[in-house]
Amino acid sequence: MPAMKWKWSNFDLQMKAIVLACTGLVFWLTVFFMVYSEIQHLNDAVFSLEGVEDLYDSIHEMRRYEKNFLLYQGRENLDQTLSFLDKARQIYSKMKESPEIFSGIKDVMDKLEISFDEYGHGVEYFKIGFSEKESRPNEEKIRIAGNRIIELAKTLLIHNRTKVAKTANRATRLPLASTGAVIFLFFIGLVMINRKVVKPLVMLEQATQKIGRGDFGPIHHPNRIESEVDRLVFAFNRMVEELDARQEQIIHARKIASLGTLVSGVAHELNNPINNIILTVDTLVGKRTIPDERRARLLEDILEQAIRASGIVKNLLDFSRAEVSEMQDVDLNLLLNDIFKIVENELALKKIRLVRKLDEGLPLVRGNRQGLQQVFFNLVINAVQAMNDNGTLTVSGLVDSNRWLMVTVQDTGEGILEEDLPHIFDPFFTTKEVGKGTGLGLSVSYGIIKKHGGRITVESKKDHGTIFTVALPVKEKKDK
């Protein structure tokens, strides 16, 4: 069985958090014990230094009384010299019990002990000589031993002061170094968190916003899984792929449904004129003797129904063609007046008042006259059909900022529901009853205006009428 390879990427987020927490705890405990140990060493060094300072002070007092005795003699000076010698020896004996003091200076301590013995023997001999009044010790021997004791004590004092300073320096540097290490690791952690967590999350946020706008593009991320964030990005990309596939299926289903709606509407639309043609032809065939006047009327009915069927087919062809040809200069005033003449009878039958607010001398637009005529005819007819009797149709035209020619078609009809407004230009969408529209008119009009570099918008509120606005770029004047 192959050995398992331990990789950081193999751990889940919870395990990584536990490992990092344990590592941090071990680090802080290590730092704590190191600082505690240095503080203990510092305390020991200070305690040793205090003992050495007491020893040094006692030796100084011993030498002072020694000099007084050698200069002025006197029993009191001799007793004080012996007293401070005993005190110095006691301090030395206690210091020998502490190994910290002997560290690195054992030879100094040994020499100090020998010097104490030599000095003590000389002073004791001097004490005997003093009591006998005849005998005097060798003063030079006492001075040499005393000077040696002073020098050794001074060396011991300097050594311990240096040791205290070094220990204090270490005890100070360690917290600073550990704090610096923590700050450095914190900075590294921030960089890693920003690279491994924050940046991918920002990318996820931006990607979700793109999805809201209909863009199902995946997140570009290294194709490797090393963390939970990588897994999240990978899962997000899979979700996007699934959503994109579902979106394609939904679009396909909508197309099928829309095609069914289209076929149903077209079949109904074509069925009426075809039935009328069949009935009329049957009448002509069944009755051999028909007055010429009636025969002409029946033939006119056949022609009218055939034209109606041809118009339905033409609408389908117009929708299927995505091109604008035969571009020319178009005068919208003349074009709209022609449309008004076509719908004049329709307006009269429904007693609809036509209000014209077309500025004289509107600039020309560059476009396809037939296509623009179809657009405005659809808008006017829709407005007429949306109104009951005694309505008002207002058509306005003006130039906006010398660049856009704005034409509005406003009616006083029933209006459009707010939830239907976003779909009003969708193919096959209609608010009319089945058989009264295929939902192609506004969609075709929208496409034509787009091809002309313009825009078409709608404003409506239920029971408050509808306003369609067509904006077209005016023809640029060429310098002569």
Query: pTM of this prediction?
Result: 0.39
Q: Is the pLDDT of residue 134 over 60?
A: no
228-314 architecture in CATH? Answer: Orthogonal Bundle (1.10)
Q: Is the pLDDT of residue 386 over 60?
A: yes
Round the average pLDDT of the chain to a whole number and report it: 75
| Range scoring the smallest mean pLDDT among 82-96, 111-125, 433-447 | 433-447
Whole-number pLDDT of residue 269:
62
Q: Which CATH code for domain 8-197?
A: 1.20.120.1730
Q: Where are the domains of the chain?
A: 8-197, 228-314, 323-473
Contacts of 48-51 spanning 24+ positions with Cβ under 8 A: 48/95, 48/98, 48/100, 48/101, 48/160, 48/163, 49/157, 49/160, 49/161, 49/163, 49/164, 51/91, 51/94, 51/95, 51/98, 51/101
Residues 6+ apart with CB under 8 A from 411: 383, 384, 386, 387, 391, 392, 393, 394, 465, 466
Whole-number pLDDT of residue 42:
66
Helix/strand/coil for 457:
strand
Backbone angles phi, psi at 437, to 5 degrees: 175, 145
Strands (E), 308-465: 328-330, 353-358, 365-367, 392-400, 404-411, 455-460
d(CA 134, CA 244): 124
pLDDT in tens, 313-322: 776 665 555 4
Under the phi-then-psi rule, with left for phi > 0, alpha for psi from -120 to 50, and beta for the rest, what region is 72? alpha
d(CA 290, CA 296): 10
Under the phi-then-psi rule, with left for phi > 0, alpha for psi from -120 to 50, and beta for the rest, what region is 460? beta
Whole-number pLDDT of residue 102:
58
| Range scoring the smallest mean pLDDT among 182-186, 256-260, 355-359 | 256-260
Residues 6+ apart with CB under 8 A from 224: 230
Eight-class DSSP state of 131 = H
Q: Is the pLDDT of residue 325 over 90?
A: no
**How many contiguous H segments (helices) and E segments (strands) does the chain have?**
12, 7
Q: How confident is the model at residue 434 (pLDDT cuts 50, 70, 90)?
A: very low
Do strands 392-400 and 404-411 pair parallel, antiparallel, or not at all (unpaired)? antiparallel
Domain 8-197 matches domain 228-314 at the CATH topology level: no
Q: Which segments of 73-105 does DSSP mark as H helices, in order? A: 75-96, 99-102
d(CA 391, CA 250): 41
Residue closest to 311 by CA, chosen among 262, 270, 274: 270
- Among the four given CATH numbers 3.40.50.300, 3.40.640.10, 3.30.565.10, 3.30.497.10, the one describing domain 323-473: 3.30.565.10
pLDDT in tens, 178-218: 777 778 777 777 777 777 677 777 777 777 776 765 566 67
pLDDT in tens, 90-109: 877 777 776 665 566 777 77
